[in-house]
């Protein structure tokens, strides 16, 4: 008996009776076999007739949604037939053997794992090798770059002068960030100004904090004093007389005044608890 897999990718094109994939002999006399149809991918026991699902329907999100011998093409959301393996050498070029004993596309490794060829440097953010210029010493490289293993490589910065024109130093990351060239502030995006000495757009300075409010005793305008929550207006009476009809003196009580005028602004008394 041959153990057969009807791979989902093939079924999409040919239907349930389309191309089959030979499993090869195993130690269990080919007792188990797998197939995929519209309801999903299944593994079956040819002795008992029992089947159990080992993958979703026509769509997939990872290799584990596909039957063994297939991998998930996430661009199309479908399983693609490639074959079984025990070692990477059992797979076609560009494929490796995964933990399901299935050939799957080899994933590109980050440059910090593989290194970069001469004339390229490793971008620590994307993991890609970025083309640059070759060098013998640091003087062969532009501002913001140093010669490392024969390649001009970006270096950290502490101020804008360590970065090439068109770039500024981002103190948060310690690296040079590309912004753009300029001759005036109007050439830069909103929030940036032009460092005319370097012809480079740089982040605008944070606006200065507002000045502290004036002290109550410095306020000479009545309305300004009344509008300040921490202040209290003081008034002076005009033509004030005491109950005897004489002009009021300091300390007199029961005085009556013809009018009152703003005299001073003082700190308001704290509210009683």
Domains identified in the chain, total number: 4
Give the integer Cα–Cα distance in Å for 121 and 132. 7
The pLDDT tens digits of the residues spanning 207-224 come to 667 778 888 999 989 999
Residue 273 lies in a domain: no
Question: Would 24 be classed as within a structural domain?
Answer: yes
Q: Are 80 and 127 members of one domain?
A: no
Specify whether 96 is located in the same domain as 16: yes
Residue at which a domain ends, from 119, 140, 155 = 155
Where in the sequence is the domain holding 251, given as residue range(s)?
Answer: 216-267
Task: Write the Ramachandran bin of 16: left for phi over 0, alpha for psi from -120 to 50, otherwise beta.
Answer: alpha
Q: Which residues pair with 201 in a beta bridge?
A: 194
Residues 17 and 101 reside in one and the same domain: yes
pLDDT for residue 272: 58
Residues 150 and 166 in one domain: no
The residue-averaged pLDDT of 55-65 equals 65
Report pLDDT for 55: 52
In a domain? residue 192: yes
> What pTM was estimated for this model as a whole?
0.32
145 belongs to a structural domain = yes
Q: What is the mean pLDDT of the chain?
A: 77
Residues 50 and 129 in one domain: no
* Per-residue pLDDT at 69 exceeds 90: no
- Using one digit for the tens of pLDDT, what is the confidence trace for 80-120? 888 899 999 999 998 999 988 999 998 777 787 778 888 88
Say if 119 falls within a structural domain: yes
pLDDT, residue 11, reads 33
> Residues for the chain: how many in total?
273
């Amino acid at each position: 008996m041959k153990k057969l897999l009807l791979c989902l990718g093939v079924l999409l094109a040919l239907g349930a009776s389309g191309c089959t994939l030979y499993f090869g002999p195993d130690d269990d006399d080919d007792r188990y076999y797998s197939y995929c149809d519209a309801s999903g991918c299944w593994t079956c026991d040819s002795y008992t007739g029992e089947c159990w699902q080992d993958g979703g329907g026509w769509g997939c999100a990872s290799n584990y949604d596909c039957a063994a011998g297939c991998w998930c093409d996430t661009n199309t959301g479908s399983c693609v037939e490639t074959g079984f393996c025990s070692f990477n050498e059992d797979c076609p070029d560009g494929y490796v053997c995964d933990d399901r004993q299935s050939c799957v596309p080899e994933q590109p490794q980050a440059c910090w794992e593989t290194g970069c060829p001469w004339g390229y440097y490793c971008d620590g953010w994307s993991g890609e090798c970025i083309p640059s210029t070759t060098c013998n010493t640091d003087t062969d490289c532009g501002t913001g770059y140093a010669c490392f293993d024969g390649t001009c490589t970006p270096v950290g910065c502490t101020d804008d002068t360590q970065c090439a024109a068109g770039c500024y130093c981002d103190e948060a990351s310690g690296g040079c960030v590309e912004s753009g060239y300029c001759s005036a502030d109007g050439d830069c995006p909103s929030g940036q100004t032009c460092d005319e000495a370097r012809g480079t757009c740089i982040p605008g300075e944070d606006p200065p904090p507002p000045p502290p409010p004036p002290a109550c005793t410095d306020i000479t305008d009545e309305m300004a004093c009344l509008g300040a929550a921490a202040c209290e207006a003081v008034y002076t009476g005009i033509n004030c007389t005491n109950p005897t009809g004489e002009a009021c003196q300091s300390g007199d009580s029961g005085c009556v005044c013809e009018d009152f005028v703003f005299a001073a602004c003082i700190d308001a008394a704290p509210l009683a608890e």
